[in-house]
Structure 1
Amino acid sequence: MKVRIKYVVEDTDRHGNVRVYLRKDGRKIRLHGLLGSPDFWREYQAALKAPPKKKGEPKTVPGTIQKGTMRWLVAQYTASGMFKQLGAKTQKDRRATLERFCNNVPKGKTVPDGELPFDQLQPKHLRMRRDALVATPEAANTMLKALKQVFKFAVLYEHLAANPAAGVEPLKSKGDGYHSWTLEEIEKFEKVHPVGTTARLALALALYTGQRRSDLVQFGKQHVRGGWLTFTQFKGRENRPVRLELPIIPELQRILDASPTGDLAFLATAYGKPFTAAGFGNRMREWCDKAGLSDCSTHGLRKAAASRLAELGCTEFEIMAITGHQTSKEVTRYTKAASQKLRAESALAKLTGTKS
């Protein structure tokens, strides 16, 4: 038999989750904890003592954020200067990541992660949440990175004494991420898309500058000064701007001179308008598919450019001067792979008695 508790009502949200409230004197107060548990009764007694709602005071509606919950902490973080200093895309992506975390209902539980008291979350809880995404390690690590920033904010603003996510290790990613184009794949693309096409210009810009697609779409005549491409990288431009000057090598200049370009951007749509980063990514996907290169992407060309520089003997800092990386962590992967290839070639040359 179901026992009714005075003033207690249940609501079911759009996700099918049942939430319990105390409705009294015009107020509707969320109650956490398992119905009938000690935590529930403590909240119930505290809610009973809440003063009556004053005339004109806004109603408390389902979905109101309860202070002290993880969702409340996320709301404080996203309203902070720490969050607003991030780039627009980073803000959008991080909001989505944190929203997914807050809406998640762990297996065997009935309460979403966002409704849990943030000061009770421990490293083991975050590891369990991370491990639940083991099939998609990149998503798990993105979530962990976002949570570390939320808890860092909590410590800085004295909501917590320590960051429970600080020591939680990321998962190992599957493979090396985006596929790096091989020389054969580059030649195959060039055969399908000759000089004079926008596709070939896109390839040349990516390969001979080593930049991200968000930078490739902004390049235009206004960035050319005395044979150099001078620009500020799009990523991190609002809080950690990176200004680069790259020489326009003869091969890139030859392709630029032979290609149709827009007024303000080298890469233009069929209507003469600049591409958006997302639109360019979609178009590049079409160009790659036409050339039979289903594993290739724009970012893979950035990796290919860095790898080719490494194979030519460029140091990590020389490669960073081209790609704009601020740490050597990512670049080291390229130089290690190149060193392995060169050492293997040298070793086998010695084995066969030839010189490399």
Structure 2
Amino acid sequence: MDISKLSGGSYEAWPDVKLLAFERSCLTNDLTTALTAFEVAIGTGQRIGDCAKMAWDDFDGEFMNVIQDKTKAKLRVYCPERLQQYLGSLPRKGRHIFPKNLTQPIGKRQIQKSVEDVRGAIGIMGGKDRLVPHGWRDTAAKLLAEAGCSDSEIQAVTGHKTLTMVQKYRTQADQETSSKRAQQRREQNKTVR
């Protein structure tokens, strides 16, 4: 009672420039855990905690079986070609995609720490430029919306229980597309500034 809620930061899709900076930093510094979290989270549209539990047996080369911890939803998510190729390039050092040893995954917190280190290195840990890993889930949903996927198709990937969240991404994608189309018409007209 009378305790204010902690602010966890905004959950928003990452801009392309920050996605590229994160990827580049991981590749330059050989940060496999952070890069794998990035690829799996965006590729499947899942939360970091759900990605942490993924085992190689969950991936059949095309689909990833997911049990969402928050909702208990069981999903079978098709992995885009980029993720299929990335996972195919990873050495299998245990039962899990994020192996602690042969039979256990590393913890969610260890993955988060590896991601925090990269976020710090590229300047998005705090302030107005702060972006959080949950934003990768939003990035996946936004990319799907921008590709013209229906709300139910986006929901089939992300597992969102309500259409309210899915419609958020649709609105963002529609707004950006409409803005671009309008400004391009403006440039074609060139009668006014």
Query: So what's the TM-score if we normalise by structure 1?
Result: 0.47
1:184 aligned onto 2:14: no
Match of 2:105 in 1: 274
How much identity, in percent, do the aligned residues show? 25
Q: Which amino acid counterpart does residue 14 of structure 2 have in structure 1? A: W
Q: In 2 relative to 1, CA 188–211 (structure 1 residues): closer, same or farther, beyond 3 Å?
A: same
- Residues 43-58 of structure 1 mapped to structure 2, 5 A cutoff: none
Question: Hey, what's the Cα distance between the residues in 2 that align with 1:250 and 1:179?
Answer: 24
Question: Hey, what's the Cα distance between the residues in 1 that align with 2:60 and 2:87?
Answer: 15
How far 1:278 sits from its partner (Å)? 2.9
Question: Hey, what's the Cα distance between the residues in 2 that align with 1:256 and 1:288?
Answer: 22
1:310 aligned onto 2:134: no
- The CA deviation string for residues 181-213 of structure 1, in whole angstroms up to 9 with x for no partner, is 111111111111128822221111011101011
Q: Which amino acid counterpart does residue 264 of structure 1 have in structure 2? A: R
Match of 2:52 in 1: 217
How far 1:277 sits from its partner (Å)? 2.3
Q: Which moved more, 1:201-210 or 1:176-185?
A: 176-185
Where structure 2 has 5 or more consecutive residues not aligned to the other structure, the ranges are none
Match of 2:75 in 1: 244
Question: Hey, what's the Cα distance between the residues in 1 that align with 2:53 and 2:184?
Answer: 45
Match of 2:64 among 221, 229, 232: 229
How far 1:260 sits from its partner (Å)? 3.9
Question: Hey, what's the Cα distance between the residues in 2 that align with 1:179 and 1:197?
Answer: 24
Match of 2:86 in 1: 255
Question: Hey, what's the Cα distance between the residues in 2 that align with 1:296 and 1:334?
Answer: 17
Question: Hey, what's the Cα distance between the residues in 1 that align with 2:116 and 2:181?
Answer: 37
Q: Which amino acid counterpart does residue 124 of structure 2 have in structure 1? A: L
- Residues 277-292 of structure 1 mapped to structure 2, 5 A cutoff: 277-292=108-123
Match of 1:265 among 87, 91, 96: 96
How far 1:227 sits from its partner (Å)? 2.1
Match of 1:170 in 2: none
How far 1:226 sits from its partner (Å)? 5.2
Match of 1:21 in 2: none
**Contact 2:37–2:111 (CA under 8 A) maintained in structure 1:** no
Q: In 2 relative to 1, CA 209–280 (structure 1 residues): closer, same or farther, beyond 3 Å?
A: same
Q: In 2 relative to 1, CA 308–339 (structure 1 residues): closer, same or farther, beyond 3 Å?
A: same
Q: Which has the higher contact order (CA 8 A, sep 6+)?
A: 2
Q: Indicate the structure (1 or 2) with the bigger Cα radius of gyration.
A: 1
- Residues 67-216 of structure 1 mapped to structure 2, 5 A cutoff: 101=1, 136=4, 139=5, 177-194=10-27, 197-216=32-51
Query: So what's the TM-score if we normalise by structure 2?
Result: 0.82
Aligned-partner SS, 2:64: strand
- The CA deviation string for residues 168-191 of structure 1, in whole angstroms up to 9 with x for no partner, is xxxxxx9x8224211111111111
Where structure 1 has 5 or more consecutive residues not aligned to the other structure, the ranges are 1-100, 105-132, 141-173
Question: Hey, what's the Cα distance between the residues in 2 that align with 1:313 and 1:206?
Answer: 20
Aligned-partner SS, 2:17: helix
- Paired residue total: 181
State the 4+ residue runs in structure 1 displaced beyond 4 angstroms: none
Aligned-partner SS, 1:200: helix
**Contact 2:55–2:96 (CA under 8 A) maintained in structure 1:** yes
Match of 1:147 in 2: none
Match of 1:23 in 2: none
Aligned-partner SS, 1:267: coil
Aligned-partner SS, 1:229: strand
Question: Hey, what's the Cα distance between the residues in 1 that align with 2:121 and 2:20?
Answer: 14
**Contact 1:206–1:301 (CA under 8 A) maintained in structure 2:** yes
